[in-house]
Structures are given as structure tokens and as C-alpha cells.
Amino acid sequence: MRGAPSMKSTEKVEYRYFNRELSWLAFNRRVLNLCSNPRFPILERVRFLSIVGSNLDEFFEIRVAGLEQQLESGVLEVGFDGLGPREQLRRISEISSAMMKDAYSCWKSELIPALEKEGVYFKAPSACSASEKEFLKKYFEDNIFPALTPLAIDPAHPFPHLRNKGLYVLLSIAEAGVRRAPAQIAIIPVPPILSRIIKLETGDKKSGERFVFLSDTIKYFSEALFPGCKVRNAAIFRITRNSDLYFDEEETENLLQTIENELHNRRKGAAVRLEIESCVGDTMLKSLVNAIDLDESFIFKTDSGPINLSRLSLAYDNIERPDLKFPPFRPYLPPEFQSREDIFSVIREKDRLLHHPYDSFAPVEDFISQAAKDPSVLAIKLTLYRTDSGSPIVKSLKEAAENGKQVTVLIELKARFDEENNIQWARQLEERGVHVLYGMVGYKTHCKTCLVVRREENGALRRYVHLGTGNYNSKTARIYTDLSLFTANESISQEVANLFNTLTGKVVRPHFDKLMVAPFCFHSKFIELVKRETKNAKAGKPARIIIKVNSVIEQSSIDALYEASQAGVKIDLIVRGICGLVPQVKGMSQNITVKSIVGVYLEHSRIYYFENGGNPEVYAGSGDIMTRNMFKRIECLYPIEDSDIKKRIVDEILASMLKDNLFSNILHSNGAYYPSPDMKKQEPFSCQQYFMDLSNVRSSEAASY
């Protein structure tokens, strides 16, 4: 990264910031390292490898595509880290090539042998036994062949458009029985509707579970699609294309229709990466590269595994071996939420905090479900960024509208790669009478907020609020770590109402005292809080900052943290992914440590702690320390005012994360991440395992009580 210069961490550092893209690649490398971790069950390691693949897909579709657009446009903008697009692309090519090589090596040399020890085999068709080949041939003829469409490439058949991330077989074919017959290129698209993994059912249960990849099978039997021809060479390949959306919101009258059109255009984006088997012939490869107009530095060859590592998630889903996966974990449901009869009285009593996935997500769903049914509820307002198919929350919103309540939903149509789902939800909700809006022009609505207006028994209206760090998505709530706060606090709920009025109406300069809302005051308030710690440190007062986020890449915020460090403020950053801040540099950031926790669950919560001279303030919410979060999105950070909840966040959650040394990596000033040095001095400690154990204890105590 200007990243990662080759020098020891004790050498003088002549730069102030790490590059965003290279920092992200370093994060994905940490995910890849989990695939080799013997502490994880083998199928979980396979799942992590699929995550590495899908992460790289998105990185090329968006980030690499954006850099290439800069080059094409001639606007060679140099970021605050000092790297221009050309140099970034050069380093990305080098690093991602090494990463993919290591990923396929891990699959071939580590995961496949470990799977075979457990009786799970992934076989090439050519390596199958006679009975397996017989089964595979019949399976191909009955289930695959009818769905295939061979595409010859010749003057009458121009090179076809190839789908983004579509899987294909590239072939060199020639007339059979004719000596020196001229070869021509052909392509077989692998139908996306077919299962990518085929289980060999030959009745030989003693041989374990055996699987063959669909693309390998099509390649093996490809000659059947070209009668009278001989296949001289065949290679499976896949193209990644630019998948960003382009449109001017201010010139767009119908945002929903525009995004639907752009989603269609996305499938035709410029090629940014080619993954192909190394057995491909030079002439074939040259023809393909010319046809898709690709920079050759982003051609990745492999001979060690399936093209498209992200498809390995299907292996995890289809192999029914619980003994090779993490033990099932049942989240804790606090006793006050167990009756599920009157959640509003529970919230009225005091603020409530849930720590997902260790605490159940059910109370969030119950909150909206009860609001939909409760005749005393007048209105429900909610922001929807990403949700799951069959979402019970969407179902409750529809029911609420049918029950005559005023339901307003802010749907973010530009939630990357969830646009199609969100368009579907928008249309369904509108059909049921929900007021569906798409936020403010020019800003993504990324905050996680829900407001319920209810008439109490005394006739007064009262607001109930849910504020989160994660999406209203029951599926991701099982694998992402997030916080949920329920409150009926009058001042906070009033500001949440102000936030919704800003989103749905016309408020030029909204004012927030309690909440930190982007783009209005998140950045300025954050800088103010950091400077207060700086001032306190200079005055000899207690000063400390702890921040747990996904990314730190906004320059002025980093500069403020540098200034605080120089004043003597001890700063601990827990940053899962991108970090542009260079820690542990004398005279600049010697009081700042940065650790990344990458473990069983995806760290997703955002928590901000400020010592405030001995009277700590704690915030949680949706915003990271990024330019887009602070200036280009609607984000909401909320204060934790309940003393019990604040104590839990500080003494239980943050303290355990800082103690973690098992799945933590420490960022050094040379841009490299190293395992926690505490591993050599202390017992291994995983905060995620600790939280799971704590939830199990609490569940047992609640059951016995």
C-alpha cells in the first residue's frame, strides 16, 4: 500500500496515508488467511474461500472499473495518499494476481485434501471411475445437454456479448477426420439456472460424497455439441465487467424506472477482468482478449480449481455434514422480550440494547409486527437499505398499511447489488398503500432507523424508536455483528422524527443536538469530539478514544486523530476493513493502535467512545469514517445515554474486542498486518467466542429462572 513499501516498521515513514484500494486488498487477504486456519471446520474454510471470491468480484466490478474509467477519461486524479490511477492499477494487478494464486493453491493443496479425509471428494470428470462416468454421461444427456446453446464464431456468427460474471467454455474446434483442418473458435455458455455442482449418485456409499463441477462436465462432453467436429482445446472462463450505475439524479424524474434501465445496462459494462484456465491456447486467448477489449494485466490464469470461487458457497450449502461446520448457535432472547405481547411497555420502562447475532433479532421484527397490529399505533416510518427475501419486516409493513396506519418507507434503490430486490420491495409496498420514497437527491439513505407513533392510554401521542448499526435483514443479522437500540427517550425520538421529516419533506438546514446525522453534522461533530479529547489531554485531563468501524479513510478525520495522538490521547481503532491511517509513527501517530478482527462473524457494528475528561460519551450507528458516509450519505449515529447499556458497551463489548488476540491482526506503519503479539504472552482469546459463550450462559440462566 502506499501502501505497503518494503521496509521495517521501525524505519522512517515518509507518507501520512495508506491507499484505499490496497488497504481493501489487505483486508481480503485477512479473509483468505482464515481458509488456512485449522481452528475452523473444513466446510467453513471453504465458505470463507467463496467469500474471498465474491469480495474480489465486487472489487473489480466497482473499484477497479472506476480506476480504469479515470484513465480512459484522462482525468488522472491523485488521491490524498499520493497514488494516481495508473500506479494503483499496477499494484492492484500485482497484489490480486498473487492473492488469486494463493487462493487456488489453498483450494488444491489444503482444502481438497482436508475434505477427502472427511470423505468429501471433488473430482474432475476425467478422473472419475467407469461407473461415475456412466452416471455423469447420462446426467449430462438428460439434464444439461438440452439447455446448452453452442455458439460458433465465424463471419456469419460475430463474437457474442458475454454476460458479467457469466461462465463459459471457450473451444477450438475443427472438422473431424480432415488432416490440418482449419480451427475455429466456439463458445458454450454455462446456463446460470443449472446447479453448478453435481453430486455423483452411483450407489457406492462407501466411497463418500463425490461431486463434479457443472462447467467441468460441459467441457468434458463439449464435443457432443459439435457433431462432425473435433475439440482441439477447451478452457473455462469468466469475465468481470464494470457494474457501477451512472445517472444524474437531478435530471431524473422517475428514479425507479431509471435504475431499472441502468441495471440492464450494467450487464453490458466494459470488461475489467478475465479469469481463464491456463490450458487455453495462445491463439484462442488472443481472440478472446481482443473481442472483449481487456487490459492484459488483468488476465488471471489458473489450473488449480473452479473458475469462480464464489460458487464454492454452493458446496457449503449442498453438503449436509453438520460435523464439518460450526455448531449451531442459538441467540439469546432477553426475558423482557420473551412474552412478545407488549413490546412498547418494555421500551417505555427503559432503553434496551441488543448485540446481534449473540442476541436475537426477533425483538426487532416483533417491534414492527406489533406496531402493524396494535390499534393504538398511528404511524410507522422506516428506512430500508438491504433486506432479505421473504422479509417478515416487509410483510408487517404491508399489513400495517392494510390496517389503515400511515406507513412511510425510505427505500434506497442504489444499495449496491441489491437494487433489483429493492425495486421489487418498492413496487410491492406501493401496491399495498405504503408511502414509498427514495430519500434525498444526491445522497444514499444508509441510516438504520424505525419510528413508531402510538397513542397511549392517557390519550397522548408517544414515539418509539429503533436505531441500529445494521440492516433490517434477518439473514444478515445471524452473521453480522451489530447493535440495536430501542428507546422512547423524548429528545432522541423527537430528533428521529426530525430526521424522517428531513428525508420525506423539505428541511434546508435540519438541526440535531443528540444525533450525529450525515451529511449535516456527523463530520463536524466527530471532529469536535476528537478536538475536545485533544484539548483535555493538553490540559492534563483524562483523554481516550476508542472507535470500532468498518473503514477509516476520510482525510480530515485522520488528521484530527493524528493531532490528538500528538497531544497524548491514547487511541484504539478497531477497523475491520479499509484503513488509510498510518499508526505507530513517532511524532505523528505513536499513540494510535489499529487492529482488525476477522473471525466467524462479519464485524459490522460502529461504536465511538470519547473519554470526555472522565465523563465518557458513547455513540453507535450506521456511519464509518469515510468521505461517502460523512458527506454523501444519510447516516445516523445515536448517543448511548442509559448507564447500564453504556457500561455493557464499554466494559463488555469494547473491552473484549480490545482483548481479542486470536482472530486479530495489528496494522503496522509499513502497511502490513501481523498477528497480535499478545498470543505469545497470553492465552488465546476470541471476543466472538466469548460473546457466544456469554449468550449461552444467559440463556441457561433465563431458562432456570
pLDDT single digits (tens) 101-116: 999 999 999 999 999 9
- CATH (domain of 25): 3.30.1840.10
Of the listed ranges 48-52, 246-250, 389-393, the one predicted with least confidence: 246-250
Domain boundary among 276, 298, 324: 324
Q: 161, 356, 435, 446: which one is catalytic?
A: 446
Beta bridge partners of 353: 485
- pLDDT for position 250: 40
Q: In this predicted model, what pLDDT tens digit does every residue of 489-535 receive, in sequence order?
A: 999 999 999 999 998 887 778 999 999 999 999 999 999 999 999 99
Q: Give dist(CA 124, CA 11) in Å, integer.
A: 49
Q: Say whether both 198 and 301 belong to one domain.
A: yes
Confidence band, pLDDT 50/70/90 cuts, at residue 437: confident
Nearest to 444 by CA among 623, 619, 605, 580: 623
Looking only at the bridges linking them, the beta strands covering 377-384 and 602-603 are unpaired
Q: Cis check for the bond before 519: say yes or no (omega within 30 of 0).
A: yes
- Residue 345 domain-assigned? yes
DSSP 331-399: -B--GGGTS-S-HHHHHHHS-EEEEETTB-SHHHHHHHHHHHH-TTEEEEEEEES---TT-HHHHHHHH
Contact 121, 188 (CB under 8 A): no
Range of the domain at 431: 335-504
pLDDT of residue 414: 57
Alpha-helix runs per DSSP H in 130-254: 130-139, 214-220
Q: Which of 324, 347, 376 is the last residue of a domain?
A: 324
How large a percentage of the chain has pLDDT more than 70? 91
Residue 11 domain flag = no
- The CA dihedral of 199, 203, 205, 206, to the nearest 10 degrees, is -120
**313 Cβ contact list (under 8 Å, min separation 6):** 47, 50, 51, 54
Tell me how crowded residue 297 is: count the other CB atoms within 10 A of its CB. 14
User: Does the structure show a pLDDT above 50 at 185?
Assistant: yes
Residues 499 and 567 placed together within one structural domain of the fold: no
Question: In this predicted structure, what is the pLDDT of residue 429?
Answer: 81
The answer to whether 545 and 571 are in contact (CB under 8 A) is yes
Whether 4 is covered by a domain: the verdict is no
- 552 shares a domain with 499: no
Alpha-helical runs (H) found in 35-84: 42-58, 65-73
pLDDT at 272 over 80: yes
- What CA–CA distance (Å, rounded) separates 493 from 487? 8
d(C-alpha 190, C-alpha 237), whole Å: 10
Query: Quick check: 56 and 46 in contact, CB under 8 A?
Result: no
256 and 318 housed in the same domain: yes
Q: Measured between alpha carbons, how far is 259 from 425 in angstroms, rounded to an integer?
A: 14
**Rounded Cα–Cα distance for residues 681 and 659 (Å):** 12
> Confidence band (pLDDT; 50, 70, 90) for 2?
very low
pLDDT category at 248 given cuts 50, 70, 90 is very low
Three cell numbers, residue 196: 453448478
Measured between alpha carbons, how far apart are the two ends of the chain, in Å?
54
> Widest CA span of the chain, in angstroms?
95
- Nearest-angstrom CA–CA distance, 218 and 196: 11
Inform me whether the pLDDT recorded for 445 exceeds 60.
yes
Specify whether 528 is located in the same domain as 442: no
The answer to whether residue 14 sits within a structural domain is: no
Residue 244 lies in a domain: yes
Count how many Cα atoms sit within 13 Å of the Cα of residue 581 in the half-sphere of its side chain.
Answer: 32
Determine contact, residues 469/449, Cβ cutoff 8 Å.
Answer: no
Q: Is 133 helix (H, G, I), strand (E, B) or coil?
A: helix
Is the confidence at residue 303, as pLDDT, over 80? yes
User: Residue 466: beta bridge partners?
Assistant: 450, 486
Q: Which amino acid is at 564?
A: A
Do 341 and 320 sit in the same domain of this protein? no
Is the pLDDT score of 679 beyond 80?
no
CATH number at residue 461: 3.30.870.10
248-262, 321-335, 578-592, 601-615 — which is least confidently predicted?
A: 248-262
Residues 6+ away with beta carbon under 8 Å from 109: none
Residues 467 and 524 both lie in one domain: no
pLDDT of amino acid 538: 97
Higher-confidence position of 248 and 679? 679
If asked whether residues 489 and 524 sit together in one domain, one would say: no
Residues 319 and 346 reside in one and the same domain? no
| pLDDT tens digits along 312-321 | 999 999 899 9
- pLDDT band at 5; cut points 50, 70, 90: very low
**Grid cell listed for 322:** 453438520
Classify each residue of 596-634 as buried b or exposed e, where b means 16 or more C-beta atoms within 10 Å of its C-beta.
Answer: bbbbbbbbbbbbbbbbbeeebebbbbbbbbbbbbbeebb
Interatomic CA distance for residues 324 and 312, integer angstroms: 15
**H, E, C per residue of 589-635:** CCCEEEEEECCCCEECCEEEEECHHHCCEEEEECCCECHHHHHCEEE
511 inside domain:
no
**Per-residue pLDDT tens over the stretch 97-150:** 999 999 999 999 999 999 999 999 999 999 999 999 999 999 999 999 999 999
CA–CA gap between residue 481 and residue 614 (Å, rounded): 28
Please indicate, yes or no, if residue 13 is contained in any of the structural domains. Answer: no
CB atoms within 10 A of CB 158: 9
Residue 431 parent element (H or E) = helix 419-431
Distance CA 443, CA 333 (A): 36
Answer yes or no: is pLDDT of 15 > 90: no
Lowest mean pLDDT among 209-213, 338-342, 592-596, 687-691: 338-342
Length of the chain measured in residues: 705
User: Vertex 344, ends 342 and 348: CA angle to 5°?
Assistant: 130
| 50-59, 295-304, 326-335, range with the lowest pLDDT | 295-304
> Tell me: the pLDDT tens digits for 19-77?
999 999 999 999 999 999 999 999 999 999 999 999 999 999 989 988 888 888 777 77
Residue 272, H or E segment:
strand 271-277
Give 194-218 pLDDT, tens digit per residue: 999 999 987 766 778 999 999 999 9
What is the pLDDT of the chain when averaged over all its residues? 90
Can you tell me whether residue 200 is helix, strand or coil? coil
Q: In this structure, is residue 6 part of a structural domain?
A: no
Q: CA angle, corner 554, sides to 57 and 621, nearest 5?
A: 80
More confident residue, 426 or 273: 273
Numbers of helices and strands, H then E, in the chain: 21, 27
Residues 570 and 647 in one domain: yes
Question: Alpha-carbon torsion 478, 480, 481, 487, what sign?
Answer: negative
DSSP state at residue 328: P
Q: What contacts 701, CB < 8 A, 6 or more positions away?
A: none
Q: Note the pTM of the prediction, 2 decimals.
A: 0.91
566 and 418 in a common domain? no
Domain stop point among 504, 537, 563: 504
pLDDT category at 419 given cuts 50, 70, 90 is: low
Q: Which amino acid is at 403?
A: N
Q: How distant, in Å, are the alpha carbons of 338, 386, 466 from that of 391?
A: 21, 10, 17
Q: Is the pLDDT of residue 255 over 50?
A: no
Identify the pLDDT of residue 260.
Answer: 54
- Give the least confident one: 1-10, 73-82, 416-425: 1-10
Residues 311 and 349 in one domain: no
In the chain, the number of structural domains is: 3
| 511 given a catalytic annotation | no
Q: How far apart are CA 207 and CA 200, in angstroms?
A: 10
* Helix, strand, or coil (residue 675): strand
Beta strands per DSSP E along 126-256 = 151-152, 167-175, 184-189, 197-199, 209-213, 229-241
In the numeric block, the cell 436475537 is attached to 360
The answer for residues whose C-beta is within 8 angstroms of residue 46's C-beta and 6 or more apart is 35, 111, 115, 312, 315, 316
Of 253, 258, 263, 193, the C-alpha closest to 420 is: 263
